[in-house]
Structure 1
Amino acid sequence: MSDTPDKIGERVRYWRLRRNLGRKQFADMIGRSTSWLDKVESGERDLVRLPTIELVAEALSIDPTVLTDAPAAARAADCVDAAEVAAIRAALGRYPGLAVPAQEPPEVAHLARESEYLDHAWTSSHFTTIARQLPKLLEGAQVATLMAPESEQVSAHRILVTSYRLASSMLLKFESHDLAWLAADRAMHTALEVDDTWAQARATRSVARAMTAARQRPGAIEVLLGMTDRMRADVHRAPDTLLSLHGMLYLAAAIAAAEQENAGLALSMHEEALDAAERMEPHYAIHHTHFGLANVVIHRVSALVRLYEAEAALRFAESIPAGAINALPPERRANYLLDLTQANTHRGNYAEAVRALTRAERIAPQEVRCRPAAHSLLRTLLSVTTGEPARQVRQMAQRAGVPA
């Protein structure tokens, strides 16, 4: 049964704004007047006819049930969709350098603020915010590297590297591996255009993560360790800005080694990262990485899970103070809890697995309701749980659109 006109109108407006469409632009797309659209969005006019609902939904690139059905609407609002992935793909396919830019050079300071905002959205696991705004940031940053004055070129390149990194990281979460590798490769080429260790380290981590996801693990480790050697002297000169990035490269190498089932190398990389974390001082820049002892230890749990050492992962997790975990941003905490869910599932601790997954959904809903990795965990738990845990899993699965 269709929802009320005001609820449907709210959803039309929400999706029009999410697609970055103006009132007249969207009205023209569906062959209607702006006054008609205003009445629909305010609930004064009901979309009673199915062909009209389908017309509006097609223009918004959504299923008609997203407009008419409350549960479908909630699920769709939570998650990045195919249209947004396509918009990121289109942004990656633009080459502003092949044509004379038809716009004024964007303000690098404005782009920097946008980049910081999306970095914060990432650490908060607000992926729909990134998906909506990232294509525009990519375009602006691409133009800025071509048109900004020499004094702002390093800043412009950093913003573009960050934009590509965000694209790659988000696409990896949703298992668009080839596209993620393309974005990471663009980040690396951008970073190599300027003599800036910060940009090169960030790009290296993105490339390595994309390579790891694509099962090119030896290459990923080689890239990471090559960059750690390359930047070592710079880290000694500027530890306040570079030590956290140096440590994060070792953490990425630990995960790649674990996925290669090389336990010795994974532990060695963990110890290098731990050494870097212990050298950190309070004023060191960590906001782009959230590097520190807490991030290092949860990466160790993640590596042990990937080494199929679930019991060791759970024992190690018990040694981590809860306060240290709670100080991490939502994205990091939720992924740690997904690792605990997997470890507990492997050990047959299904009630504990459900508790961890429930906490992850509460902290960062989009991590559980939208990611294929979380959906896989939900499907497994649906098949093995009984009683109250089974009821909780069914409720989570419904919110995530996973058939129970």
Structure 2
Amino acid sequence: MPDPGEIGKRVRYWRLRRNLGRKQFADMIGRSTSWLDKIETGERDLTRIPTIELVAEALSVDPDVLTDTPTAIRAADCVDATEVSAIRSALGRYPSLVRPAHEPPAVGHLARQAEYLDHAWASSHFTTIAQHLPTLLEAAQTATLTAAAADQVDTHRILVTSYRLASSMLLKFESHDLAWLAADRAMYTALEVDDMWSQARATRSVARAMTAARQRAEAIDALLGMTDRMRPEVPRYPNSLLALYGMLYLAAAISAAEQDDAALAMTMHQEATQAAERMEPHHDDHRTYFGRTNVAIHRVSALVRLYEAEQALHLAATIPTSALSALSPERRANHLLDLAQANTHRGKYAEATRALAQAERTAPQEVRCRPVVHNLLRTLLSTTTGEPARQARQIADRAGVPA
């Protein structure tokens, strides 16, 4: 049992992560705020099992999350079922059917919240997104109904961003049905306004959800339909649309690779390459990090999905380290996961483990929490020996993957 101060810190951490105020939480467990303050500061010992269980139940965590250090670390790293349920609830609201309980925050405030969560996504801080996204979804949903006409495009962009974040994160954790719902909501929202930006971003989300649901041909149709729609506008507004246009082709390349269509994947890659060659420094990449480097790592990813591991590794070796360093942690970590997968396909298990370890250093939540990585870890645990096996076991322990 850790010391009272450590348990108190964990109680406070989870109370704040659940967005519970001091009095609200104290009332939930039938205690005073002064009692709670003493627990959280370590002045009072929380050691009685019934009380620990009461506090843990109110926080929707296992008691071991408060009392066992390895369990506490793993739980803090990962999005949990309670947070997925909160996102589900937010997706299940229909504000247009009821009178809003209160006015949403100003559009500028909502935009800053969405930008903050966009930054969290780029850094692979998924627990931050899970904590704040349900509130943003509810506020943005209401804002689209109550905002002035001049703010409608902005509020719809915020709501599209919120739905996209929900869909993308749920796909990471293989909640495919919910991801599909969020992506569909993003598309529905985007089509309510005449805004190419919103429609392009929503299309990418819908296509990713379709691909995960094995509707790959439909995903490609949606992506190419949107590129056809954008093509006349891109030369007029290249600084705002070109990156989104190129990213649609990258998404199509991945979907084509998923359905084992190497020729189409290459065609889509070539289209994206042409778009990347037109990019200039002042062009807005909308945090897609679109450009030659992102095109290259998507090609690596497509080759891995086509089981062309040797080609994937050869191409990856040509990408300058300095160029990779300019990408977000989320992009870099996923590239490293592709390299780990490619090396596993080639039977190079030591190299796969090194790539996985580097991915964990780059973005811990990508490695410790995602089911696809857990499956890769199980493979490495059964195939590696010596130092790579020890390293794989350490990563697995931090991810909660049993021996």
Q: TM-score range by the shorter chain?
A: over 0.9
Aligned-partner Cα distance in 1 for 2:145–2:28: 33
Match in the other structure for 1:138: 137
Question: Are 2:243 and 2:286, in contact at CA under 8 Å, matched by a contact in 1?
Answer: no
Deviations 1:115-154 (A, max 9, x none): 0110000000000000000001101110110001000000
Q: In the alignment, residue 274 of structure 2 is paired with which amino acid? A: D
Q: In the alignment, residue 170 of structure 1 is paired with which amino acid? A: M
Match in the other structure for 1:387: 386
Match in the other structure for 2:173: 174
Match in the other structure for 1:82: 81
Match in the other structure for 1:43: 42
Match in the other structure for 1:163: 162
Q: In the alignment, residue 84 of structure 2 is paired with which amino acid? A: V
Aligned-partner Cα distance in 2 for 1:376–1:394: 13
Match in the other structure for 2:199: 200
- State whether structure 2 residue 256 is matched by structure 1 residue 276: no
Aligned-partner Cα distance in 2 for 1:116–1:104: 21
State the identity as a percent.
Answer: 76
Aligned-partner Cα distance in 2 for 1:299–1:217: 17
Aligned-partner Cα distance in 1 for 2:213–2:2: 43
Aligned-partner Cα distance in 2 for 1:102–1:79: 32
The 5 Å alignment of 1:5-404 reads 5-404=4-403
Cα-Cα RMSD:
0.6
Q: In the alignment, residue 184 of structure 2 is paired with which amino acid? A: D
Aligned-partner Cα distance in 1 for 2:95–2:174: 28
Deviation at 1:315, TM superposition (A): 1.0
Deviation at 1:47, TM superposition (A): 1.4
Aligned-partner Cα distance in 1 for 2:117–2:12: 23
Aligned-partner Cα distance in 2 for 1:119–1:129: 10
Deviation at 1:288, TM superposition (A): 2.6
Deviation at 1:45, TM superposition (A): 1.1
SS at 2:280 equivalent:
coil
Aligned-partner Cα distance in 1 for 2:47–2:282: 60
Deviation at 1:287, TM superposition (A): 3.4
Question: Are 1:305 and 1:313, in contact at CA under 8 Å, matched by a contact in 2?
Answer: yes
Q: In the alignment, residue 127 of structure 1 is paired with which amino acid? A: F
Structure 1, unaligned stretches of length 5 or more? none
Q: In the alignment, residue 88 of structure 2 is paired with which amino acid? A: R
Aligned-partner Cα distance in 2 for 1:287–1:14: 32
Question: Are 1:106 and 1:143, in contact at CA under 8 Å, matched by a contact in 2?
Answer: no
Deviations 1:345-368 (A, max 9, x none): 110111110110010000000000
Moved more, 73-82 or 100-109: 100-109
Q: In the alignment, residue 139 of structure 2 is paired with which amino acid? A: G
SS at 1:45 equivalent:
coil
What TM-score, normalized by structure 2, do the two folds share? Answer: 0.99
Deviation at 1:316, TM superposition (A): 1.1
Deviation at 1:46, TM superposition (A): 1.1
SS at 1:235 equivalent:
coil
The 4+ residue runs of structure 1 with deviation greater than 4 A are none
Question: Are 2:107 and 2:154, in contact at CA under 8 Å, matched by a contact in 1?
Answer: yes
What TM-score, normalized by structure 1, do the two folds share? Answer: 0.99
SS at 1:233 equivalent:
coil
Aligned-partner Cα distance in 1 for 2:367–2:105: 36
Aligned-partner Cα distance in 1 for 2:309–2:400: 28
Aligned-partner Cα distance in 2 for 1:55–1:105: 34
